[in-house]
Amino acid sequence: MAAEQDPEARAAARPLLTDLYQATMALGYWRAGRAQEQAEFELFFRGCPFGGAFALAAGLRDCVRFLRAFRLQDADVQFLASMLPSDTDPAFFEHLRALDCSDVTVRALPEGSLAFPGVSCRVCGPLLVVQLLETPLLCLVSYASLIATNAARLRLIAGPKKRLLEMGLRRAQGPDGGLTASTYSYLGGFDGSSNVLAGQLRGVPLAGTLAHSFITSFLGTEVPPNPMLAPAASQGPVVDLAACVEAWLGRVCAHLGLGVQEPHRGERAAFVAYALAFPQAFQGLLDTYSVQRSGLPNFLAVALALGELGYRAVGVRLDSGDLLQQAQEIRRVFRSISAQFQMPWLESVSITVSNNIDEEELTRLAQEGSEVNVIGIGTNVVTCPRQPSLGCVYKLVSVGGQPRMKLTEDPEKQTLPGSKAAFRLLGADGSPLLDLLQLAEEAPPQAGQELRVWPRGAQGACTVRPAHVEPLLRLWVQQGQLCEPLPSLAESRAFAQLSLSRLSPEHKRLEQPALYRVALSDKLQALVARLRAGGSS
């Protein structure tokens, strides 16, 4: 299969980003004459992450990129040859050189879909090839879905009005993890990222200002090569911004009851330098020295000087201390200064906070009456400390059209046999009731039809009458060809928020939620019972 021209295709994953036993099994299949047998695997997870009742499906775009570019290069084959027995038939390696995914078919949940245990993705094709795909596909889906779900939880806590920024690249598990986290935190509901590469490659909106190092690099003795700034409307004479700031500082300090010598000179020089570079987007980092005695008055002096020229400062950031309390105090000062100097826009200047924010602190920052507008989260979104892995699995369910089932003493690790279809049964208000798994050969369930189903984990069957029925697994790749355009990242993000809005509050609860039901059809339940009783066929 010819790979489309996509600079990200091989960056997403390479064929040898896999486990060695995939290669040893490939040799075993080939030696047994089974390489071309048609097989079907299912990729799914067994339990919702973070103690919640839902997950978001993510990673499909990366999987499709990987499949369309899949081809073992000569160097790949040579390396595998060095790992396998020296007497391996050379014809096997020629077979590997010719491999691609032109006979592979993928049905999966659209990115941004609500996902529940046992329902995610089907991969069909020649046994040897689809076996080789196991580890890369798991790698591409598991972390992406975990990040998207973590981001969705944080969005639910923050509510719709707070802006959430992902700022975790420096805390991520390597460059690939950083790019994945920035991409899929956006899909999960964040508003943007500090990761420039995610902006370039994935179109994630970017945000960023300055660090403490920029501020501490200034002593206050520096002379700007050109301190002059023209008015925003480009009418009127240019103004020495530094001199204007000094004039405003005296007025601000008098209003705040501070001595004019208290605000740090170097910090003020840094703010002036930044304002000269970004007069339309000036922001101040307030906590390098002292928020109340230095950062805030210095910011206000620069903001008011810019305001006099027709510019409007866009925000401040706090990175330490009691963020909620400081935001309240800063807003109070903004309102007071705004009234004192007739600068009405100042009272609504955005307040951004960051500093190892987790779910508990986010809950506090998002409470009613909070003056925080933007929340930057790094470590606790990209590393998913509450659960570092989603635990996706990739299991064989059919070979040559015959069902296969893993029987084990651990009931949770038993698989569901056979090629299957999945449907979401909805109530009259459009909210999901349960997800139904059935054999692909069965007729789809119909709206208004009473169905007997077998909820997983329950002792017996129950009946349900859905008002609406949605098929879940869409055909994305058939015989190696893309069947429909993949949604953009922004479209998948919007779809994720729509999907979450339809989920009942009891299932969206982040602590002790009601578990969402996934059920089997009568025929699938009967097949499971038969194979359990008689052993795997």
pLDDT higher than threshold 90 for residue 49: yes
Nearest Cα neighbor of 198 from 226, 169, 237, 157 is 169
- Select the CATH number that applies to the domain covering 20-155+387-534 from these four: 3.55.40.20, 1.10.150.130, 3.20.140.10, 3.30.2010.10: 3.20.140.10
Q: Which pLDDT score is estimated for 13?
A: 78
Per-residue pLDDT band for 12 (boundaries 50, 70, 90) equals low
Using a cut of 0.85, tell me whether the model's pTM lies above it: yes
- What is the per-residue pLDDT across 163-203, written as a single tens digit (0 to 9) for each? 999 999 999 999 999 999 999 999 999 999 999 999 999 99
Q: What is the mean pLDDT of the segment spanning 277-297?
A: 97
Q: Is the dihedral of CA 276, 277, 281, 284 positive or negative?
A: negative
Per-residue pLDDT band for 119 (boundaries 50, 70, 90) equals confident
The encoded tokens of residue 46 equal 């067994």
Nearest Cα neighbor of 106 from 198, 14, 151, 43 is 43
Q: What is the DSSP string of 97-126?
A: HT--STT-EEEEPPTT-EE-TT-SEEEEEE
Extents of the domains making up the chain? 20-155+387-534, 208-377
Nearest Cα neighbor of 106 from 137, 149, 128, 132 is 137
Distance (Å, whole) CA 376 – CA 283: 15
Per the document, the length of the chain is 537
- What is the per-residue pLDDT across 228-257, written as a single tens digit (0 to 9) for each? 999 999 788 999 999 999 999 999 999 999
Per-residue pLDDT band for 66 (boundaries 50, 70, 90) equals very high
pLDDT higher than threshold 80 for residue 5: no
Q: Which pLDDT score is estimated for 236?
A: 86
C-alpha neighbours within 13 Å on the C-beta side of residue 21 = 2
Per-residue pLDDT band for 209 (boundaries 50, 70, 90) equals confident
Q: What is the mean pLDDT of the segment spanning 205-217?
A: 95
Q: What is the mean pLDDT of the segment spanning 358-363?
A: 97
The encoded tokens of residue 284 equal 């101040």
* Strand stretches in 378-450, DSSP E: 392-399, 402-403, 420-426, 432-439
Alpha carbon separation from 507 to 85, 115, 313, 496 (Å, rounded): 52, 12, 41, 15
- What is the per-residue pLDDT across 487-502, written as a single tens digit (0 to 9) for each? 999 999 999 999 999 9
Share of the chain above pLDDT 90, in %: 92
Q: Which pLDDT score is estimated for 407?
A: 87
Q: What does pLDDT average to over the chain?
A: 95
The encoded tokens of residue 467 equal 């008002």
At residue 168, φ and ψ (nearest 5 deg) are: -105, 15
Per-residue pLDDT band for 3 (boundaries 50, 70, 90) equals very low
Within 8 A by CB and 6+ apart from 512, the residues are: 51
pLDDT higher than threshold 80 for residue 442: yes
Q: Which pLDDT score is estimated for 537?
A: 45
Q: Which pLDDT score is estimated for 1?
A: 47
Which CATH architecture best describes the domain 208-377? Answer: Alpha-Beta Barrel (3.20)
- Cβ atoms of residues 186 and 165 within 8 Å: no
Q: What is the end-to-end Cα distance of the chain in Å, rounded? A: 33
pLDDT higher than threshold 80 for residue 9: no
- In single-letter form, the type of residue at position 77 comes to V
At residue 305, φ and ψ (nearest 5 deg) are: -65, -40
Q: What is the mean pLDDT of the segment spanning 110-139?
A: 96
Share of the chain above pLDDT 70, in %: 97
- In single-letter form, the type of residue at position 48 comes to C
Q: Which pLDDT score is estimated for 8?
A: 60
The encoded tokens of residue 40 equal 């079907």
Q: Which of 234-238, 369-373, 396-400, 449-453 has the lowest mean pLDDT?
A: 234-238
Distance (Å, whole) CA 217 – CA 450: 71
Nearest Cα neighbor of 419 from 524, 525, 532, 521 is 524
The encoded tokens of residue 375 equal 């929340």
Within 8 A by CB and 6+ apart from 406, the residues are: 395, 396, 413, 414, 415, 536
- Cβ atoms of residues 446 and 469 within 8 Å: yes
- Which residue bears the tokens 């989920």? 503
- Which residue bears the tokens 């004479």? 237
- Cβ atoms of residues 123 and 43 within 8 Å: yes
Helix (H) or strand (E) holding 56: strand 55-56
Q: What is the mean pLDDT of the segment spanning 23-30?
A: 98
* Same fold for the pair 20-155+387-534 and 208-377: no
